[in-house]
Amino acid sequence: MKNKSIILILSIIFAISCKKNHQMLKDSAVINPPKATKIPHELNIHGDTRIDNYYWLNNRESKEVYDYLKAENDYTNVILNHTKNLRNTLFEEMKGRIKENDTSVPYKLNGYWYLTRYEEGKDYPIYTRRKESLDAVEEILFDCNEMAEGHSYFKLGGISISPDNNMAAFSTDIISRRKYTIHIKNLITGEVLSDKIENTTGGSTWANDNETLFYTMKDPVTLRSNKIFKHKLNTNIVDDKEVYHESDETFNTFVYKSKSKKYIIIGSSSTLSTEYRFLNADTPDQEFKIFQERTQDLEYSIAHYNNHFYIITNKDNATNFKLLKTHVDKTELSHWEEVLSHRKEVLIEDIEIFKDFLVINERENGLNKLRIISWNGEEDYYMPFSSETYTAYVGNNPDFDSHKLRYGYTSLTSPNSVIDYDLKLKVSEVKKEQEVIGGNFKKENYKEKRIWATARDGVKVPISLVYKKGIEFDGNNPLLQYAYGSYGSTIDPSFSSIRLSLLDRGFIYAISHVRGGEYLGRDWYENGKLFTKKNTFTDFIDCSKHLIEEKYTSKEHLYAYGGSAGGLLMGAIINMNPELYNGVLAAVPFVDVLTTMLDETIPLTTGEYDEWGNPNDKGYYDYMKSYSPYDNIEAKKYPNMLVTTGLHDSQVQYWEPAKWVAKLREYKTDNNKLLLHTDMDSGHGGASGRFESLKEVALEYAFLLDLEGINH
């Protein structure tokens, strides 16, 4: 910005205004919303000039920025002050359904049973293990309640146990910016070693010598995972050796050990291409070997079994992927052999390898399917599932020699179950079903179903619904419509005890499986990205219209909800069809698309060109500008809105929603609520701790219920 003196004067004026407004809000004498100072900032590219009056909000260290965010929080508190009792009721209600003294289903790994438990009145998990038998003495590995003391935010990242069971590498994040510090604990003595590795992704993996630890570093500015290092126990961190540097800014890198424990594997991935390197885990000081060099648009992943690697890949235009294999000594593309061919209607999502069986996680017509194949060729069948709104997924199966498949099952009305399926005997044992305490929940009191809306281009878009039995479809029901619709991420229908607080008050909950996800296969994703991104927005709108036409709800009672890239969706639909919605919840919304994607210093930008396009290319710039929520705000009526963000968000920077709200305030012509709430201690995932995060949900639900005139 050219005239620094003018900026300084405006900043001082704004600071004084914020301070006065802050005090008036505290006194509840005035409830006018904060008004952000306008400081024009020119953004020029491709002969196009955009004026961003709120660009200054991207200075995280600025007192003026902090004061503005605080003033917005104060304003939100004043406007929603009358819902305080409702929020408390919702919080206690949601908390009351959670079993506080709870334990995970234990799993066995390398001679130990591992489990996680919670204790009453405590926010964080306790990680434990028992040797050989569940009746053995409990060994506490990490008590996160103790570790979190003195921190407003705490997250325990990856835990990696050495092959001899004596050491544990673990990571912590106390800022909520997903920059983890790795520590190493001696599990025999309980001592945490002086080894301290900062600015990592949090994950790590041991070589078989019990002395060498591989981990992934992040670029300190962009937070891109770009380097793999190896650390030797009892050596200085500064002497750690870099074993791989991913120099392509559109790729991220990671490291892990094969389930067979034979190989250390380094992966590099972008949206459209992947590449792997591998190394015998017994010889960690040797050089990694490239599995198959990266090729544009070639995606693959690998898993080891006996003398072969098994490969899920889109090779030869296998849009929904196919399964191939190759000998461990001949891993180049020319040696890959087909195991399962490509099927147009079936997406291969993942595989799980056991000593005697191969399990394939597939998706057909939006539904999860688990296919079981024995290595001896005698078995090939699908596990039976009947509902149309369920989710089945492969769980934690670290034991290569086991003949039991652990999987999870849930639906919109069925609490999550952890199930062990005996692959030899073909019998299932429910190890645990999520317990909804309080005595009021009965799954038979709720109805779930899947319906289909017709999009404007004739494509059928599925919608999963859940509601309490007995309601009439007369257009008077409040309905919360949720979607994500990006990165090929599928939002499967699953149970939520928290959601019951809406359902029991008459809400219908709908998940629109819009294009941009992979609910109906890889093509469903491809047709909701880059130059087809607008399909995601119009699909959501057309689902909204269908729900209204079928009298599930009406414009006066329809609410939309999305977060992160789903927040972009929220920003787009209110620009396109604001009249369809009475209210919108936008969580950590990605709304300033052009400015963010043109700034290569912002975390994640360069790695996402394959998802959104690179706006340095004029074609992509023009297309992105045509839907970018921040750039398309107009003088018109907008729905009631609650926007939430975190000051330390590393995925969507806090200033995107802050700028968005400021500009909406400037342009909107209605008297509807527009609220911004910034968590000053957290990032993209919200508050840490299982109960603290419920306060955020209570705020969102109270906002919706208040708009419906429901105050209890």
Residue 386, pLDDT above cutoff 90: no
Q: What are the pLDDT digits (tens) for 135-178?
A: 999 999 999 999 999 888 888 988 999 999 999 999 999 877 77
Q: Is pLDDT above 50 for 298?
A: yes
Using an 8 Å Cβ cutoff, are 119 and 101 in contact?
yes
Answer whether residue 589 shows pLDDT above 50: yes
pLDDT at 603 over 80: no
**Quick check: 687 pLDDT over 60?**
no
Which residue would you say has higher pLDDT here, 25 or 85? Answer: 85
What gap in Å lies between CA 402 and CA 398, rounded to an integer?
Answer: 9
pLDDT at 10 over 50: no
Residue 485 pLDDT > 80: yes
Residue 649's pLDDT is what?
60
pLDDT for residue 23: 44
The contacts found for 4-8 with CB under 8 angstroms, 24 or more apart, are 7/39, 7/56
Q: What is the pLDDT confidence band of residue 689, given thresholds at 50, 70 and 90?
A: low
Q: Per-residue pLDDT averaged across 690-699, rounded? A: 88
Query: Closest Cα partner for 284 from 308, 304, 257, 303?
Result: 257
Q: Which two tokens stand for residue 108?
A: 């066995």
Q: Which of 564, 682, 688, 693 is catalytic?
A: 564
Annotated catalytic residue 546: no
pLDDT score for 650: 57
Length of the chain: 712
In percent, the amount of the chain with pLDDT more than 90 equals 83
Q: In 580-709, which residue ranges form alpha helices assigned H by DSSP?
A: 593-597, 609-612, 618-627, 655-667, 692-707
Q: Is the pLDDT of residue 110 over 70?
A: yes
Percent share of the chain, pLDDT over 70:
93
pLDDT reported for residue 245: 97
Closest listed residue to residue 320, CA positions, set 291, 299, 294: 299
Is the predicted pLDDT of residue 102 greater than 60, yes or no?
yes
How confident is the model at residue 405, as a pLDDT? Answer: 96
> 17: pLDDT confidence band, cut at 50, 70 and 90?
very low
Is pLDDT above 60 for 72?
Answer: yes
DSSP secondary structure code for residue 136 in this structure: S
Q: Which residue, 523, 676, 653, is CA-closest to 597?
A: 653
Q: What per-residue confidence (pLDDT) applies to 6?
A: 37
Per-residue pLDDT, 411: 96
Would you state the structure tokens that stand for residue 260, as one six-digit string? 């067979």
Averaged pLDDT for residues 216-233: 92
Q: Which of 237, 281, 231 is nearest to 260 (CA)?
A: 281
**pLDDT value of residue 16:** 41
Average pLDDT, the chain: 92
Ramachandran assignment for 601, one of left (phi > 0), alpha (psi -120 to 50 degrees), beta (any other): alpha
Give, in order, the Cα–Cα distances in Å from 427 to each of 53, 106, 338, 356, 406. Answer: 64, 19, 30, 16, 12
Token digits of residue 222: 């962009």
**Predicted confidence band of residue 414 (pLDDT cuts 50, 70, 90):** very high
Radius of gyration of the chain (CA): 26
- Who contacts 71 (Cβ-Cβ below 8 Å, separation ≥6)? 18, 21, 22, 25, 34
Of 211-225, 351-365, 512-526, least confident by mean pLDDT is: 211-225
Global confidence as pTM:
0.87
pLDDT at site 677: 96
Question: For 207, how many CA atoms within 13 A lie in the half-sphere containing its CB?
Answer: 21
Query: Which is catalytic among the residues 542, 649, 679, 706?
Result: 649
Element at 11 (helix H, strand E): helix 4-27
Mean per-residue pLDDT, 358-377: 95
pLDDT bin (cut points 50, 70, 90) of residue 2 is very low
Q: Is 137 in contact with 181 (CB distance < 8 Å)? A: no
Decide if 469 contacts 445 (C-beta within 8 A).
yes
First to last CA, the chain: 50
Report CA-CA distances (Å) from 434 to 114, 429, 457, 494.
Answer: 19, 15, 41, 12
Predicted local distance difference test score (pLDDT) of residue 367: 94
d(CA 414, CA 212): 44
Give every strand in the sheet of 308-313, ordered side by side.
300-305, 308-313, 322-327, 337-340
Is 241 within 8 Å of 267 (Cβ atoms)? no
Confidence of residue 194 (pLDDT cuts 50, 70, 90): confident
In angstroms, the CA 712 to CA 705 distance is 9
Mean pLDDT within 310-335:
97
For 116, the 3-state DSSP assignment is strand
Per-residue pLDDT at 255: 97
- Nearest by Cα to 57 from 689, 701, 665: 665
| Residue 157: predicted pLDDT | 86
d(CA 392, CA 405): 12
- Spacing of C-alpha 53 from chain mean position: 31
Task: Look up 102 and say whether it is catalytic.
Answer: no
Q: Which one, of 655, 657, 662, lies nearest residue 61 by Cα?
A: 655
Tokens, residue 462 = 């599925």
Based on the residue annotation, tell me whether 162 is a catalytic residue of this protein: no
**Is residue 705 pLDDT above 70, yes or no?**
yes
With beta carbons less than 8 A apart as the criterion, state whether 177 and 683 touch: yes
More confident residue, 330 or 24: 330
**Among the options 684, 688, 693, 706, which is catalytic?**
684
